[in-house]
């Protein structure tokens, strides 16, 4: 189990997209400035899109320096959180597929260094945080 305390402090909203909201945030432990993307999924189709992003990024993260590095994925229910491992045969993956429809949360965290074209986001460190409810 991992801590149920939030690792990030949201500062302000910086953008909205089709699937979620991006916030400027700070990592509480280190003070690093990051971007946090939060996606609410109220349908199986949206859950599937978020899981595809998780699996795709974890599969290709070492192939290019501008590809987001997958840091961790956490399934959260009530006040308990548990780390997920990669792979569709993982019991936690199956648990997410079943329980996500029962309003559980899954947090997916990615951290990467981008090139200068992305530097305007929040410096060179960029983090994506996905919440599926």
Q: Binding site: what residues are annotated?
A: 38
d(CA 99, CA 46) in angstroms, rounded, equals 14
User: Residues 25, 111: contact at Cβ < 8 Å?
Assistant: no
DSSP three-state, residue 24 = strand
| Alpha-carbon torsion, ordered 119, 122, 125, 130, to 10 deg | -120
Structure tokens at 106: 């899954």
The binding site for ATP consists of 38
DSSP code per residue over 3-16: --S-SEEEEEEEEE
């Amino acid at each position: 189990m991992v801590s149920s305390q939030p690792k990030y402090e949201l500062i302000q909203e910086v953008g909205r997209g089709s699937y979620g909201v991006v916030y400027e945030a700070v990592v509480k432990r280190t003070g690093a400035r990051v971007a946090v993307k939060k996606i609410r999924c109220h349908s199986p189709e949206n859950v599937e899109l978020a899981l595809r992003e998780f699996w795709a990024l974890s599969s290709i993260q070492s192939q290019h320096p501008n590809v987001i590095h997958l840091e961790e994925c956490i399934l959260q229910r009530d006040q308990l959180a548990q780390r997920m491992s990669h792979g569709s045969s993982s019991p936690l993956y199956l648990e997410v597929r079943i329980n996500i429809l029962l309003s559980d949360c899954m947090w997916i965290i990615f951290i990467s260094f981008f090139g200068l074209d992305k530097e305007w986001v929040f410096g060179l460190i960029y983090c994506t945080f996905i919440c599926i409810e």
